Amino acid sequence: MLAFYSRIAGDKVKKVNSKFRIVLLAGFLAGFGHIVPVAGQEGHPMDGSWVGDWGLNSQDRHRVVIIMEWDISGLVGTINPGNEAIPFDTAVANPDDWSLYAEAEGVDAEGRPVTYIIEGAIDDLGTYNRTIAGTWMVGSNTGDFSITRQ
């Protein structure tokens, strides 16, 4: 019966099929438009594991791992996670220039309390393996650091 109807009123059926295809395509594109941005989001630019080094000069370097995460209260982080992890006491990320300021209280090699102050800025913000570089202070010692997101 449908074949007979199609032959008699072929233009009408064709228009219905074209309209149906347009509505179907529009619905698909609207749904796809919501999926694609979500798939491309990585979270806060400071989120993730960062690996690199810091040191007082180019010969005296120390490997460092920093884990940072943006949660509802702000930026939280840890220097060298593990048995001797040093959690951030304060961490501020400035979205105007994507700079980082973090403080943490730890101990030095002799077990004495020491304050860590980390100041840097993100380079290559649009890339996955972005870097943060700047000044690393441990007690009265000041050096530089560079870490890359893994």
pTM: 0.69
Amino acid identity at 139: G
**139/107 Cα distance (integer angstroms):** 10
**122/100 Cα distance (integer angstroms):** 8
pLDDT of residue 24: 61
Q: How far is CA 91 from the centre of its chain?
A: 15
pLDDT of residue 2: 47
Residue with tokens 């209260």: 73
**71/54 Cα distance (integer angstroms):** 26
pLDDT in tens, 69-114: 998 889 999 999 988 899 999 999 999 999 999 999 999 889 999 9
| Percentage of the chain lying above the pLDDT 70 cut | 73
pLDDT of residue 58: 94
Amino acid identity at 143: G
Q: Sign (positive/negative) of CA torsion 95, 97, 102, 108?
A: positive
pLDDT of residue 4: 43
